[in-house]
Amino acid sequence: MGFEVEIIKWMQTFSDEITKGFFTFWTMFGEELIIIAIMGFIYWCFDKKAGEFIGFSVFVSLVLNSVIKIAIKRVRPFDAFPEQINNWRGETAGGYSFPSGHTQGAASVFGSAAVWIKKRWLSIAATVIIIMVAISRMYLGAHYLTDVIVGGLLGIGIAFLIHYLFKKIANRNRIYITTMIGSVILLLIVFFTQTQAFANDAQNFYSKLEGLFKMEGAFIGFVFGIMFEKKQVNFTMHKVLWKNMLRFIIGVAIVMGIRYSLSFLFDLIINPENLGATEISFAGVAMMLDFIRYGIMVFIAIGVYPLVFKKLKI
C-alpha cells in the first residue's frame, strides 16, 4: 500500500484550482446523475436494445461493486492517511474504497456502449473516459491505484460477460430473473452478517450499506421495468430530433423529480443523519426506503415513462 499512498501524495502536489477543476470534471463521468442521463438518452432516444443491455450491465456491475466493498472493507486513502492525503471531493466518496465505484460505473456504462455499438471512435472515447475517471479518483484522494484498476477491469469484464450471455441465451428473462434472485440472496447475506458488526454504530452501518440497497433497488426496478415495457408498452424508436430532445428532457426531469421528492418524504419518516448509535433497526428501515426509492425511480424510467411518451406521440 505504501507505493499507492506515494502516488496519491505526488498527484496532489499539483493542487491549484485549475487542476482540481480538471479532475473534478472527469470524475463526474462516473457519478450517478451522469450515468442516469447517458442510460436514459440511449434507452429512450437512441437504441432501446442497446439501452437495455447497458442498463443491465451497469446495475449488475454496481451491485457487485457494493458487495465487494463491504466484504473487503478497505478504508479510503483520505480516511486512512488524513494528514498526508487531502479529501477534495468527499461528498462523492461514501462507504469503502475497494473497488472504485466511480471507475467501475464509468467502465460499465461506456464499456458496455463500446461493446454493443462496436464503433472504433466510441471504443477510443470509452477508454479515455475510463482512464481519466480512474486518475481523477486517485487525485481527489478517494481511491488507491488498485481500487481503480480492479474497478475498471470488473466494469469492462461484466460488460463482455453479459454481452456473451445475451448472444447465447435467447430468453433474456431467464438471465434477468436468475441474476435478480442471486443479487437478493447476496443482499440478505450481507445485511444479516453486517448487523452484528455495527451493533453500536447505526449511522456507520447505514453509510456503509446504503449504496448496496440503492443499487439493488435500482436493479430490481430495472428488471421489472423492462418486463413491463415489453409486455405493456413496446415503444418504438424514431429519428425526429425535437421529439427525442423532449423525450430526454422530460424523462430526466421525471427521474430527478422522483429521486428528490421521495428522498424528502422518506427523510420525514427516518432521517439517516439523525440515527442514534444503537438504532440499528431504524438504519435497516432507512436502507429499505432507499431500496424502494431507487426501485420506483428506475421502474418508472424504464417501464412507465415510455408509456407516457408513446401516448403523447413524441
d(Cα 23, Cα 139) in Å, to the nearest integer? 7
Q: 242 and 143: one domain?
A: no
pLDDT of residue 144: 92
* Residue from 166, 177, 160, 186 nearest 222 by CA: 177
Structure confidence by residue, pLDDT tens digits, 233-279: 999 988 899 999 999 999 999 999 999 999 999 999 988 888 887 88
Of 13-17, 108-112, 306-310, give the range with the top mean pLDDT: 108-112
pLDDT for 45 equals 94
pLDDT tens digits for range 119-133: 999 999 999 999 999
Cα of 75 vs its chain's centroid, Å: 20
* Residue 239 grid cell: 429519428
Integer-rounded Cα Rg, in Å, for the chain is: 20
Among 163, 10, 161, 164, residue whose Cα is nearest residue 77: 10
- For the segment 28-48, what is each residue's pLDDT rounded down to a tens digit? 999 988 999 999 999 999 999
Q: What is the pLDDT of residues 192-215, one digit of tens each?
A: 888 877 878 888 888 889 999 999
Q: Three-state SS for 228?
A: helix
**Taking residues 161-189, what's their average pLDDT?**
92
Q: How many domains does the chain have?
A: 2
Q: Is the peptide bond before 77 cis (omega within 30 degrees of 0)?
A: no
Domain ranges, residue 79: 1-168
- Whether 272 maps to a domain, the answer reads yes
Categorize the per-residue pLDDT at 51 as very low, low, confident or very high, splitting at 50, 70 and 90: very high
Structural domain contains residue 186: no
In this structure, the answer to whether residues 138 and 16 fall within a common structural domain is yes
End-to-end CA distance of the chain: 53
pLDDT attached to residue 280: 86
Residues 304 and 212 in one domain: yes
Report the C-alpha gap between 233 and 314 in whole angstroms.
Answer: 14
d(CA 214, CA 92): 15
Q: Tell me, what's the pLDDT at 1?
A: 64
Q: How long a stretch of residues is the chain? A: 314
Residue 266 lies in a domain: yes
Statement to judge: residues 112 and 253 lie in one domain:
no
* Mean pLDDT for the stretch of residues 134-162: 95
Whether residue 150 lies inside any domain: the answer is: yes
Going through the chain in order, the beta strands assigned E by DSSP cover none
- Residues 228 and 310 occupy one common structural domain: yes
In a domain? residue 71: yes
Residue 214 lies in a domain: yes
Name the grid cell of 266. 422518506
More confident residue, 21 or 95: 21
Q: Whole-angstrom Cα distance, residue 110 to residue 106?
A: 6
- Does one domain contain both 21 and 151? yes
Q: What is the tens place of the pLDDT at every residue in 64-114?
A: 999 999 999 999 998 878 888 878 776 676 778 899 999 999 999 999 999
Are 274 and 211 within one domain?
A: yes
3-state secondary structure of 140: coil
